Structure 1
Amino acid sequence: ILIAVNDGGFRFTDQIPSLEHLRKRNGIRAVRDFVSGNEFTYDHHTHGTAVMSILAGQQEGMLQGTAPGADYMLFRTEDVSGEFPAEEDYWAAAAEYADSAGADIITSSLGYGHFDDPSLNYKFSDLDGNSAFITRAAGIAASKGILVFSSAGNERNKTWKRILAPADGDSVISVAAVDHNRKISVFSSAGPSADGRIKPDLSAMGVNVPVQISAGSVSGASGTSFSCPVLSGISACLLQAVPAAVASEIAGAIRQSGDRYNSPDSLYGYGIPDMIRALDILQKIHLERPENTITIYPNPVTEDFEIIFREYPESVILEIFSFSGKLVFRRDFNPSPGSYLNIKALANREQGIYFLRIRTANAIYFKKIIKLNS
């Protein structure tokens, strides 16, 4: 899973201990400074570092991120020296780059509504999902199949009170902040959007969230900037668990799993998601699609097993994933009626549930395999 992080700076991301595992495996796939146009440096601000520690941090006894096994692209799109409309252009350019690089998720703990030049400010009526430049850019990214997450904003205890762009986008998952008692924070921006849609979409922990921005220390940080990566990282795990799921299905499943799904409001949105329930929703969509021309025998499996093709005119790609989403087998195959493959890939694997993904030119099918100890 590849996650693009749009932020204002990543100072010390190349040094903090909780990201050492990421650096060792070269999990930072790309970096770029869209603000200066110059060579990227791990400088400017620690805000993106805090976000990265929530997403990918892994330090025993101190910090556990929500998606430590993902790969990342770090994009500086926010000019922390002020608020300028050009930052929306930088964001759009980063989103385009993310799409070209194959990003699965864009997570953005940024919001726009007020600028150093007040004549350029957005009005609330602009937050209709179609007017703000950055919101339109986020919508285009989502239309390309990217899951786009945005912080709702920290405005409720200020004059503005409302969400900020691009949180108003109908294809953007905007995230509010709650505390450890599941109560909405005093600062978490309120919805709805200007055209009356439920916003924010969902809520996640955003008060005293453990972050690391310097060597050796973990501290608490508050803001929707930090609830956003909590949810985007967990959603990456959903995507890994059900690789055939598309972005709109992931977004729909996590909304449907919210504890306020049947009575959403303008503070919590659809509420705090239950990711086990979201996984169950996605599995019901994908993991048991019938494909009557393919048989797995035996199933449950103890050693090797056979995939039998009764009638199948297309070439296929066969892949087997562990329950955690790890690819354990891949094979290209051109079946003919009555042909079969003998698979030994699970013989020395732990018992549990595995998934066979069958990819053709026109469709993707899943079958569940149960592995037992011999």
Structure 2
Amino acid sequence: MEWGEALGADISSSSLGYLDWYSYCDMDGNTAVTTKSVDIASSLGMLCVTSAGNWGGTMPNQDPCQIPLEHYISAPADADSVISVGAVYGTGEIVYFSSRGPSYDGRIKPEVCAMGAGVIGVQVGSQDNVTTIYTGTSASCPLVSGAAAIIMSAKPDWTAMQVRQAMLSTASNHIAPDTVLGYGIINIADALDFEFSTSSLLSENIVDDFHISNPYPNPFNPKVFFDLDIGSDAFVKIEILNLNGKTISTLLNGNIGASQTSYFWDGSGLSSGIYFIRVTANERHFLQKISLIK
């Protein structure tokens, strides 16, 4: 992943999962080495897609901290910046083995699903394009990665996180996401038509009467600092959002005069991942992405 990012790759597709030395308690978006790697790559602008795992047909351990992991998603599918992919039949029903969510800290997993049973593909190592049948979330994951590549090609001005949001927001189960299908089966056409509203998590409206500096350090642990320059009196709100757009902290919510002020946010007690600083002034928004790495 590091090699690919250094060469300018936009998407990482990984059909792997680590469970032999992890328990469900470790699937918190903060513990596994591969999970941390995904968060770092995401903070650098790469879209990371990974298999949810093929352990859904097993019974969960009575002790969630027992090793090895059973039933649930495996690292790095627990990362909060990743697109973890479950498997469905051609009918749209979940395949029995597709690993289930949520993450141990309660986030929706998997993010999306794609066909993962009876998938026709070129046989590995074939010199004559001989096809074979693939089954597993290792088959559904590259389908989603390919879909993401199509969207990125059609929408070159979208960031990796905007592509992720468009895919989740237009999947078949997005109105009521669950821990089996997640946000549902992807729909490329609908994702391409997705419009980011002015209040959308990933929309950025840069205005000339206030400015937020680049956060520093970034990635950070546990504190990140930034400067806010307000050119005129305004009602200002500064929030910290998680990757799903939920406000997890409010740093300021009130009237302030023209000023340049330094602020900081302490991410102690939260898992590694992508967060956003959102500044709202007079109903206009400015967004900065930050990455907490522990």
Q: TM-score range by the shorter chain?
A: 0.5 to 0.7
**2:156 equivalent to 1:243:** yes
In 1, the alpha carbon distance for the partners of 2:79 and 2:15 equals 14
User: In 1, distance between residues paired with 2:138 and 2:179?
Assistant: 18
* 1:280 partnered with 2:193: yes
SS of 1:219's equivalent in the other structure is strand
Specify the alignment match of 2:112 in structure 1.
202
Q: 1:282 to 1:229 in 2, by over 3 A?
A: farther
Contact kept, 8 Å, 1:242 with 1:282, in 2: the verdict is: no
Inter-partner Cα distance in structure 2 for 1:133 and 1:232: 22
Alpha-carbon offset, residue 217 of structure 1? 2.5
- Structure 1 vs Structure 2 CA RMSD: 2.1
How far apart, CA to CA, are the structure 1 residues paired with 2:6 and 2:187? 32
- Cα 1:238–1:166 change in 2 (3 A) is same
Partner residue, 2:27: 127
What is the CA–CA distance in structure 2 between the aligned matches of 1:198 and 1:188, rounded to whole Å?
14
Instruction: Report the equivalent of 1:109.
Output: 15
Number of the residue aligned with 2:167? 254
8 Å CA contact 1:249, 1:282 repeated in 2: no
Alpha-carbon distance between aligned partners in 2 of 1:157 and 1:273, rounded to the nearest angstrom: 23
CA deviation digits over 1:330-370, x for unaligned, max 9? xxxxxxxxxxxxxxxxxxxxxxxxxxxxxxxxxxxxxxxxx
Larger relative helix fraction: 1
2:115 maps to amino acid: M
* Partner SS for 1:281: coil
The equivalences for 1:131-170 within 5 A come to 131-159=31-59, 160-170=70-80
Flag the 1:283–1:263 CA change in 2: closer, same or farther, 3 A.
closer
The answer to whether the 8 Å contact 1:153/1:188 transfers is yes
Give unmatched runs, 5+ long, in structure 1. Answer: 1-94, 115-120, 291-374
CA shift at 1:122, angstroms?
Answer: 0.8
Structure 2: segments with no counterpart, 5+ residues = 60-69, 199-203, 206-294
Q: Structure 1 residues 216, 101: CA separation in 2 closer, same or farther (over 3 Å shift)?
A: closer
Matches within 5 A, 1:177-192: 177-192=87-102
Distance 1:282 1:220, change over 3 A: farther
Pairing 1:266–2:179 present: yes
Question: How far apart in 1 are the matches of 2:116 and 2:90?
Answer: 9
Q: Report the AA paired with residue 35 of structure 2.
A: T
Show CA shifts across 1:156-210 (max 9, x none). 1134111110000000100000011000001100000000000000000111000
Residue number in structure 2 paired with 1:229:
142
User: 1:1-374 counterparts in 2 under 5 A?
Assistant: 95-114=1-20, 121-159=21-59, 160-213=70-123, 214=126, 215-282=128-195
Q: Is the 1:253–1:278 Cα contact (8 Å) retained in structure 2? A: yes
Q: Which amino acid aligns with 1:241?
A: A
Give the letter for the 1:278 counterpart. Answer: A
Q: 1:124 to 1:283 in 2, by over 3 A?
A: closer
SS in 1 for 2:90: coil
Structure whose alpha-carbon radius of gyration is higher: 1
Superimposed CA distance per residue, residues 15-73 of structure 1 (whole angstroms, 9 cap, x where no aligned partner) = xxxxxxxxxxxxxxxxxxxxxxxxxxxxxxxxxxxxxxxxxxxxxxxxxxxxxxxxxxx
Kindly provide the amino acid, as one letter, of the partner of residue 223 in structure 1.
G
Cα distance in 1 for residues equivalent to 2:45 and 2:30: 18
Q: Distance in 2 between matches of 1:97 and 1:172?
A: 18
Offset of residue 126 of structure 1: 0.6
SS in 1 for 2:194: helix
8 Å Cα contact 1:242-1:283 kept in structure 2: no
User: Which aligned segments of 4 or more residues in structure 1 are displaced greater than 6 angstroms?
Assistant: none
The whole-number CA distance in structure 2 between the counterparts of 1:234 and 1:284 is: 23
Query: 2: CA distance between counterparts of 1:248 and 1:123?
Result: 28
Rounded Cα–Cα distance in structure 1 between residues aligned with 2:167 and 2:101: 19
SS at 1:99 equivalent: helix
> Structure 1 length as normaliser, TM-score?
0.48
3-state SS in 2 of match to 1:207: coil
Deviation at residue 283 of structure 1 after TM alignment: 7.9
Alignment: residue pair count: 189
CA distance in 1, matches of 2:81, 2:72: 18
